[in-house]
Amino acid sequence: MISMASHEDLIEDNLLLPHEINNQRNRKVKATFLHKIKAFFVKNWKIILLLFVILLLISCTIIIPISILKDKTKNISSQCDEYGKKIVETALKGTEAYSRLATMCTLFGNRLSGTQALENTIDWIQEQMINDGLENVHTDNVSVTHWVRGNEYAHMTAPYYKKLNMLGLGGSISTGGINITAQVIVVNSFDELDQVQSQVPGKIVLFNAVFTNYSSTVQYRASGAVAAAKYGAVASLIRSVTPYSLGTPHTGGMYYQDGVKQIPAAALTLEDSDLIQGLVNFNKSVTIQLYMEAQTLPNAISRNVMGQITGSEYPDQVVVIGGHIDSWDVGQGAMDDGGGVMVSWEAVRLIKALGIKPKRTIRVVAWTNEENGAAGGQNYAALYKNETFFSIETDGGATTPLGFSVTSSSKTLSALSTIAEHVLKPIGSTSVTEGEVGTDNSFLVDQGVPGAQLVTNMTQYFWFHHSEGDAIDKMDPVQMDQCVGTMAAMALCIANFNGNLP
C-alpha cells in the first residue's frame, strides 16, 4: 500500500508543467511540419527541379553576361562604365540643351550662310562656351557661299487664278527682273521627262515626284533644273521633298551644270503640286506666272566655332563631336540643325560640370555652311585631320536617339557596340551599325579617320525639314536630354579608350 506522501510524490512526478506541455507540442508541430515539407518535395520534385533549372538559366543568360560585359567594357575603355552611367543618369534628370536652343532660335532666328544673323549666333555661342569654362574656345574663318533669296512669288493664272505657296531653291538664279509666264508640263520622273522632251521647249516643268525616301526624291530638287533646261524649259518647279504638308513648301540646295543654260528653280507645296497634276489629268492647260529675285553674291566670311575639355593623358588626340550652326533662311533652324549643335555642346559642358577629366581631348564644333556648300566641314578637316582620334556628327534631328551609324574597322565597330550595349541601355540608344556619317565629319572620314553619326527617330523629320515649320515648338526637351546623354557617354568612353582604336 502506498502512503499518502508517496502517492502525492508520484502524482507530482507525473504532472507536466506548462512549459513541458508546450515543448511537447512544439516537438509534435516540428515533426509534423518537417514531414509535410518532405512530402511536398517528394510529390513535387519534378516541378522544383524545373524551377531550379530555370533560375540557373536566368543567371547564366542575364547575371553572368552582365558581369562579363562590364569586364569587357572596362578592358575597352578606362572608367567607361562608371563615368558613362553617371553621365546618363545626370542627363536624364534634365539638361540645358532645350533651353539654350530656345534662346538661340528666339534671339537670332534662321541663320543662312552670309547673313549677319549667323555671325551674331556664332559670337553668342563663343561667349557662352567661355562662360561654361570650356578650353581653347575660338573660331576659324571659312569662306562660304552667299546666296540671297530676295522677293519671290508664283501664281496659277489659268485655268483659274490661285496664289501658289512656293520657295525658291537655294542656288537658283532670278527670273531676270520679269515675270516668267508659261504653260506647265507635269512629269513624275526623269524617265517621263525624256519621253515628252519634244513638248518641253518654252514651258515650265513641274516634277511631281511623290516622296519615297530622301535620297531618292531629293535628286529632283538637286538636278531637276538641269534636266529641264536640256530640253528647253524656261523654269523648273518641284513637288517639295517631304511626305507631309500643311501648305508649307520646302527649300534646299540645287545645282547647275556647265554648258547647260541656267533656269530659275523653285519648290511648290504638295497640295499645289497635286492640284496642278489633277488639272492636267482633266486635260486642262495650266499656266503659271513665276517671279524670283534670287542671286548669288561673292563669297562671305563665316566661322566654325569650337571649345573643348583638354585630355589628361593624350591632349593632342581629339574626339570631336558637333553639328552645323547654319540653316536655311526659313523657319528657325531648330531641328536642322540647331538641336544637333546644342546637344553636342551640352554633352561637353555636362562632362565638365561632373568633374570628369577624359584621357583624350573632347571638342565640340559648330560647323558653318553645311546647307549650301559644306565649306565648314572641309575647312575643319584641312586644319585638324591629323589630331582627330574619332568624330561624331548629329544632323538628323535631336529626337529619340537610337544609336550610331559608324564608319570604321569591324573591331572598332564591335567595341563601340559593346560600350553602347552596356552604358546606353537606360536610354535605349544601343544600336551600333556600319553606315554613313554626317556631311561635316565626312571630310575627316574620307581621309581615313573613323567616325559616326547619331541615329535618331526621323519619322517626322522631313515633315519640317527646310521649311517655315522648322521651329522650336517641334523640339522635345526630354528627347534632347536623351541625345545629350547618348553623345556625352559615347564621346567620353571613346576618349578613354585603352590604346588606339582597333
pLDDT of 49-78, one tens digit each? 777 777 767 655 554 444 444 557 789 999
In angstroms, the CA 153 to CA 380 distance is: 38
Q: Among 239, 261, 293, where does a domain finish? A: 293
**pLDDT at residue 56, as a whole number:** 67
What is the DSSP secondary-structure string of 247-300? S-----B----TTS----EEEE-HHHHHHHHHHHHTT---EEEEEE--EEEEEE
Centre a 10 Å sphere on the Cβ of residue 332 and count the other Cβ atoms it contains. 25
Domain check: are 162 and 269 in the same one?
Answer: yes
Does residue 492 surpass a pLDDT of 50?
Answer: yes
Q: Which three cell numbers stand for residue 183?
A: 504653260
The residue among 302, 445, 449 whose CA lies nearest residue 367 is: 302
Q: Which three cell numbers stand for residue 432?
A: 551600333
277-287 per-residue burial string, b: 16 or more CB within 10 A, e: under 16: bebbeeeeebe
The whole-chain average pLDDT of the chain stands at 92
Domain check: are 191 and 283 in the same one?
Answer: yes
The residue among 373, 208, 348, 199 whose CA lies nearest residue 276 is: 208
Does 66 map to a domain?
no
Does 81 map to a domain?
yes
398 secondary structure, DSSP code: S
What radius of gyration, in Å, describes the C-alpha atoms of the chain?
A: 34
383-387 contacts: CB < 8 A, separation 24 or more? 383/140, 384/318, 384/320, 385/444, 385/447, 385/449, 387/316, 387/317, 387/318
Domain check: are 287 and 311 in the same one?
Answer: no
Q: Is 231 helix (H, G, I), strand (E, B) or coil?
A: coil
Does 169 map to a domain?
yes
Domain count, the chain: 2
Q: How confident is the model at residue 490 (pLDDT cuts 50, 70, 90)?
A: very high
Domain check: are 352 and 239 in the same one?
Answer: no
Unique residue bearing C-alpha cell 559593346: 418
Residues sharing a CB contact under 8 Å with residue 475, sequence separation 6 or more, in sequence order = 98, 101, 334, 335, 339, 398
Q: What is the mean pLDDT of residues 130-151?
A: 98
Domain check: are 135 and 157 in the same one?
Answer: no
Q: Is 447 helix (H, G, I), strand (E, B) or coil?
A: coil
**pLDDT at residue 18, as a whole number:** 43
Does residue 3 surpass a pLDDT of 50?
Answer: no
Q: What is the mean pLDDT of residues 187-193?
A: 98
Cα 114 from chain centroid (whole Å): 26
Domain check: are 234 and 343 in the same one?
Answer: no
- Give the DSSP H or E segment for 363: strand 360-367
Domain check: are 446 and 481 in the same one?
Answer: yes
In angstroms, the CA 249 to CA 329 distance is: 13
Q: pLDDT digit string (tens) for 75-93? A: 999 999 999 999 999 999 9
CB 20 within 8 A of CB 26: no
Does 37 map to a domain?
no
Residue 95 sits in a domain whose CATH number is 3.40.630.10
Residue 176 sits in a domain whose CATH number is 3.50.30.30
Is the pLDDT higher at 43 or at 66?
43
Q: Among 272, 293, 314, where does a domain finish? A: 293
Domain with 160 in it: 150-293
Q: How confident is the model at residue 21 (pLDDT cuts 50, 70, 90)?
A: very low
The pTM is what? 0.86
**How far lies 180's CA from each of 155, 206, 287, in Å?**
11, 14, 10
Q: pLDDT digit string (tens) for 101-121? A: 999 999 999 999 999 999 999
Domain check: are 279 and 369 in the same one?
Answer: no
Q: Among 293, 313, 342, where does a domain finish? A: 293
Does 39 map to a domain?
no
In angstroms, the CA 101 to CA 475 distance is: 9
In angstroms, the CA 285 to CA 6 distance is: 135
CB 51 within 8 A of CB 41: no
Question: Which residues participate in catalysis according to the annotation?
Answer: 370
Q: Is 346 helix (H, G, I), strand (E, B) or coil?
A: helix
Helix axes 339-353, 116-131, angle to 10 degrees: 10
Backbone angles phi, psi at 274, to 5 degrees: -70, -35
Domain check: are 208 and 268 in the same one?
Answer: yes
Does 57 map to a domain?
no
Is the pLDDT higher at 42 or at 193?
193
CB 311 within 8 A of CB 136: no
Q: What is the mean pLDDT of residues 472-478?
A: 98
Domain check: are 313 and 383 in the same one?
Answer: yes
In angstroms, the CA 289 to CA 293 distance is: 14
Unique residue bearing C-alpha cell 523640339: 475
CB 228 within 8 A of CB 236: yes
The residue among 252, 243, 273, 254 whose CA lies nearest residue 462 is: 243
Residues sharing a CB contact under 8 Å with residue 91, sequence separation 6 or more, in sequence order = 350, 481, 482, 484, 485, 488
**pLDDT at residue 11, as a whole number:** 38
Domain check: are 213 and 158 in the same one?
Answer: yes
HSE value, Cβ hemisphere, 13 Å, CA-based, for 459: 5
Residues sharing a CB contact under 8 Å with residue 479, sequence separation 6 or more, in sequence order = 398, 399, 400, 401
The residue among 284, 292, 286 whose CA lies nearest residue 272 is: 286
Domain check: are 347 and 487 in the same one?
Answer: yes
Beta bridge partners of 162: 156
